[in-house]
Structure 1
Amino acid sequence: MQEQQMISEGSLIADLYERFAPNVLKYIRRHVATREQAEDILLDVFVAALEKPGFAQLDEQQQLAWLRRVAHNKFVDLQRHAQRHSHLPLETVEGMLSDDELAPEQVILRQEAHEHLRMRLDALPVTQREVLRMRFASGLRCLEIGQRINKSEGAARIILSRTLNLLRSSYKRNSEEADSE
């Protein structure tokens, strides 16, 4: 009896797939970047149809509408996931760095330089750190920075300039101290 039911369900899914897969795949392809992604989503859609109780009792239009709605939800999920977890191909990253930059010594030196910068930034007053963050991390202009810290554009420009000069002089002092040792 169970074997008969499995064969019946298998032929039902095969029939559903033959009737609706081309239409649903075309719908998905309009919304995703690659054919492979579309085929993966299509597979997920038909697995969901198999798991949905009472799907077979829906009429043909209701089945197609349900499959499209599930497909829509699946590619929206894919886009959300892609936004949260952006990936770069390894070849792209490797191409951005020269062989010298990948050398362990260079990596350690870069890490040390970043740590020194972090220490210097931590020593700055909060307003100066925020101005640097808004300018260089967020890409804001002095007018926008001034608005956010309730100061004029000129005042924001002065804070930014003085902060950069302070960091430069700190680096210069460190360099001179290292040279004198």
Structure 2
Amino acid sequence: MNILLVLPSHLQRQGVTDEVDISELELIEAAKANAQAFAPLYERYAQQVYRYTRTRIRNEDDAADLTQQTFLNALHALPRYKSRGIPFVAWLFRIALYTIRQKQRKERITVSWDLLPEALHPQGEEDPEGVLLQQERLKRVEVLFEKLKTSQRELLMLRFAAGLSSTEIAAVLGKSPASVKKQLSRILHTLKEGYSQYE
């Protein structure tokens, strides 16, 4: 199975909707039978995987390469995929997480606020004073973010960069959804408390 996956130009847009009426299981079964039929699954999840990968990798080209590698790994593993109550997107993000961790072991990359693409940063006002205030706010959040444990940052990246639900994150990390919700709630509360101390 040799298939070249290239990030489509629509990855630059936010919020691509899926108009395909075919069920995901049908797409998976078709892709198992024919590698070329993997394209709809790639189109459905490429943006999510890329955004998540981009939060972990220093530059866009490497993030695009790792996104492609994630999908190639998924395509290779697809014949062994069985639902078993785990959503396909969670299975895919397990592969993404493994692919990223392999690269990080080689290069010792850590999750950092600086790795968040500017497109994922909150937008501030246009006037110079508003821009300055926004930069100060972002610096505060960056300081708080850096104080978090790597596992806490990972949860935030999966939730907000990848856009996964608590249930999907739980399946990716092998935790219960209740545990993920509780951890996310605690992390956000900690960030909020820390941020309010600057006020």
Q: TM-score range by the shorter chain?
A: 0.3 to 0.5
TM-score by structure 2 length? 0.38
RCO greater where, 1 or 2, for CA within 8 Å and sep 6 or more?
2
